[in-house]
Structure 1
Amino acid sequence: MNNIKVLLAEDEPSLGQIVKESLETRNFEVYHAQNGEEAYKVYKGNSPDILVLDVMMPKKDGFTLAKEIRQENKHIPIIFLTAKSQPKDVVEGFEHGGNDYLKKPFSMEELIVRIHALLDRISLKKNNENIKIGNYIFNHTKQLLQLNNNEELLTHRESELLFYLSQQKNEVLDRTFILNKLWGDDDFFNARSMDVFISKLRKKLKNDENIQIINVRGYGYKLIC
């Protein structure tokens, strides 16, 4: 099996070197760049499997870099590293195409677990691009929901939320898990935001009366179909 290729963009030299060496001892192949412009060149020249991007970098910050790469590659997994901890910063990271968000300081074990989890999830999506939900066909990769000849484009967050619900079909999707995964925090305001997205999905799935998204009070949501 080929080693996993990681593009690490981190402008703090000592931290970057520690992360690089730690990953390499675990059989990752790591390309370390110290600014956003250098990272983009490394990305173009080496076809990494996953990107680990510091948010605050010289020449080009991590959010800008991710947005630029997302225009070319919709599927490569991106983890942001940052000392910022406000929910709005986490939300901004996801809006710029990030898949996960790791707050500094972090342990190498946590980073490695998240890398593997993201790559496993991308692999699962490729093998299950078309997911049947009642009479609907949901294409997670294209963020597309289809019923007969009618197609509706979902937003990134709608698509991610529906994907997790579909993977737990007829079982409870833990509320805290999905809030931390997609919103970065399980506080009251993010919970209210998720409720809004659940309502949007209910409306988009309303043309199949056998589909329900129910609220399991105190636990989470369940997609029944």
Structure 2
Amino acid sequence: MDKKTTILLAEDEPALGQIIKESLETRNFNVLLCDNGEKAYGVYTSQQPELLVLDVMMPKKDGFTLAKEVRKANDTIPIIFLTAKSQTQDVVEGFSIGGNDYLKKPFSIEELIVRIHNLLNRTKFQKTSEVLQFGNFTFDFPKQILQYKDDSCMQLTHREAHLLFHLIKNKNQVLDRSVILNKLWGNDDFFSARSMDVFITKLRKKLKADENIQIINVRGFGYKLIC
């Protein structure tokens, strides 16, 4: 029998939390349910689940704060936010601090399950052993380390590393915005696009040491790494 995937569910509405838990358990998931962010962090550190489903508005510690703390220790675990917030900046903040997906309440359990499977499949993305050279940079993709010449090293996040990898592989060519959004974010909606813009800005700052390298925005199409 296949090992069950363990999901940490942090939801302070008892009825909703129980419905989600029971629904996921019928799909062969092992679910750890917590009703506040403080308790959820303790369960995360002790149980090491494989995916997090976090309500944004929780007592003692909100979902965004919890995600930030988790990301300090684990940059790859998938995180889905459940939110009643509809403000664009709230959703973009969720992506910026390390969230992989979000669902606005009310939502269907079936949609949540589809998104969970999608994220779990994406984490199986096959890593390459390649160490890539471009300009004055060396990029160790498996270790997610970007090094300028022979000195300073920068540790990239999981998403920064994958985005840079695709840009390098397509250097001097347009990287289709929709394609990369679907590959790394799972969809190409407005909020995912805003999140990608944030990560592009972060990469530009890391690459500014080499004046011969730039990431340009090709309006209506995507991005191009010029090297």
TM range (shorter): 0.7 to 0.9
Displacement, 1:76? 2.0
Question: For structure 1, which runs of at least 5 residues remain unmatched after alignment?
Answer: none
Provide closer, same or farther for how the CA distance between residues 44 and 119 of structure 1 changes in structure 2, counting only shifts above 3 A.
Answer: same
Per-residue deviation, 1:218: 1.9
Provide the rounded CA distance (Å) in 2 between the counterparts of 1:7 and 1:35: 12
Find the counterpart in structure 1 of residue 35 from structure 2.
34
Tell me the TM-score normalised to structure 2 length.
0.73
2:190 corresponds, among 185, 188, 191, to 185
Deviations, residues 80-115 of structure 1 (Å, cap 9, x unaligned): 111112122123223433222222222333322322
Cα distance, 1:175 vs structure 2: 5.0
Which whole-Å CA distance do the structure 2 matches of 1:100 and 1:70 have between them?
15
Deviation at 1:30, TM superposition (A): 0.8
Q: Name the count of aligned residue pairs.
A: 221
Paired residue for 2:100?
A: 99
Partner-residue secondary structure (3-state), 1:76: coil
Of 63-72 and 158-167, more deviation after overlay is shown by 158-167
**Cα distance between partner residues in 2 of 1:91 and 1:71:** 19
Look up the match of 2:59: 58
**Aligned residue number for residue 6 of structure 2:** 5
Find the residue that maps to 1:123 and give its secondary structure: coil
Change (3 A) 1:137 1:31: same
Shift of 1:188: 10
> What is aligned with 2:223?
221
1:43 & 1:188 partners in 2: Cα distance? 29
2:86 aligned counterpart, secondary structure: coil
Distance in 1 between residues matched to 2:200 and 2:66, nearest whole Å: 31
- Paired-residue identity, %: 52
Gaps of 5+ in 2: none
Give deviations 1:31-85, integer Å, cap 9, x for gaps: 1111112212322332210111001011221122222222333332211111112
